[in-house]
């Protein structure tokens, strides 16, 4: 298995709480966006995720953390793993012990809110549920919706952080770019071709013929005496 960081969000939570590393350094090491790390520091993200010490897991040394704290431009590097664990392939949905099945709706709600990019099939593989249950929780038609509380499935022991990260990465790769909706600005190539004189108001007064105006006035004056004579 490739040397990758385990439980990146939990590691980011620990680094935010226990080190003086910058948001950019933590984001680079954990594979997150700097704004997401800032949200973790502000308590707006990763709520309910317990921080994991990367030093204890052997993925980061204290010397490496110290170098990062002294040099803001230093990029943290993963420590070489001492033990290689072969990756196991699992087929079909995950089996959930009876003692933890009551927590599955809370885990599904957490996944739906925190990872909306995940498909129903991916959520089903992670926590061992059915698509019908996922749909009910999405639409808030589940019989226990009023009492559900979003809880991290990794913390509940329903799935591993590695499997969750794999599914999130797959969903991110397959996600299509959202097309902008609503009114948008016209391209410059089109606006340059517009005729500035096309919509300009016409100056009707400037186009009037002066001779025609005077001729009309003369005709009116000539008609006035005739009207007086008739009276």
Domain assignment of residue 160, yes or no: yes
Q: Report pLDDT for 228.
A: 47
Q: Is 219 helix (H, G, I), strand (E, B) or coil?
A: helix
Same domain (yes/no): 65, 112: no
Domain assignment of residue 209, yes or no: no
Q: Report pLDDT for 171.
A: 86
> What one-character-per-residue DSSP string does 149-194 give?
----HHHHTSS-HHHHHHHHHHHHHHPPPPPP-S--PPPHHHHTTS
Total structural domains within the chain? 2
Domain membership of residue 137 as a residue range: 98-174
Instruction: List per-residue pLDDT tens for the chain, 231 residues long.
Output: 446 777 888 999 999 999 999 999 999 999 889 999 998 988 888 777 888 899 988 889 999 999 999 999 999 988 876 655 555 555 555 555 544 567 889 999 999 999 999 999 999 899 888 899 999 999 999 888 889 999 998 888 888 888 899 988 888 886 654 454 555 555 555 555 555 554 555 554 445 556 666 676 666 666 555 444 444
Domain assignment of residue 131, yes or no: yes
Residue 205 backbone dihedrals phi, psi, to 5 degrees: -65, -35
Structure tokens belonging to residue 94: 């995950």
Decide: residue 118, CB within 10 A, 0-12 exposed, 13-18 middle, 19+ buried.
Answer: buried
Residue 17 · residue 27 · CB < 8 Å = no
Same domain (yes/no): 119, 61: no
Domain assignment of residue 52, yes or no: yes
User: Residue 75 has what DSSP assignment?
Assistant: P
């Amino acid at each position: 298995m490739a040397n990758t960081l385990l439980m990146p969000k939990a590691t980011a939570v620990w680094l935010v709480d226990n080190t003086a590393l910058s948001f950019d350094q933590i984001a680079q090491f954990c594979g997150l966006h700097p704004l997401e790390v800032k949200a973790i520091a502000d308590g707006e993200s990763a709520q309910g995720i317990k921080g994991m010490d990367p030093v204890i897991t052997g993925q980061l040394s204290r010397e490496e953390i110290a170098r990062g704290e002294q040099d803001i431009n230093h990029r943290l590097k993963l420590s070489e793993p001492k033990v290689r664990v072969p990756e196991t392939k699992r087929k079909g949905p995950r089996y959930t012990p009876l003692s933890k099945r009551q927590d599955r709706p809370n885990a599904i709600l957490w996944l739906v809110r925190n990872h909306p990019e995940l498909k129903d099939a991916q959520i089903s593989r992670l926590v061992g549920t059915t698509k019908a249950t996922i749909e009910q929780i999405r639409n808030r038609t589940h019989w226990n919706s009023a009492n559900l509380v979003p809880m991290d499935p990794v913390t509940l022991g329903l799935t591993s952080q590695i499997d969750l990260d794999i599914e999130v990465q797959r969903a991110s790769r397959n996600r299509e770019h959202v097309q902008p909706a609503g009114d948008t600005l016209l391209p410059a190539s089109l606006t340059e071709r517009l005729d500035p004189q096309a919509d300009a108001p016409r100056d009707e007064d400037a186009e009037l013929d002066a001779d025609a105006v005077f001729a009309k006035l003369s005709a009116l004056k000539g008609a006035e005496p005739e009207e007086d004579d008739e009276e």
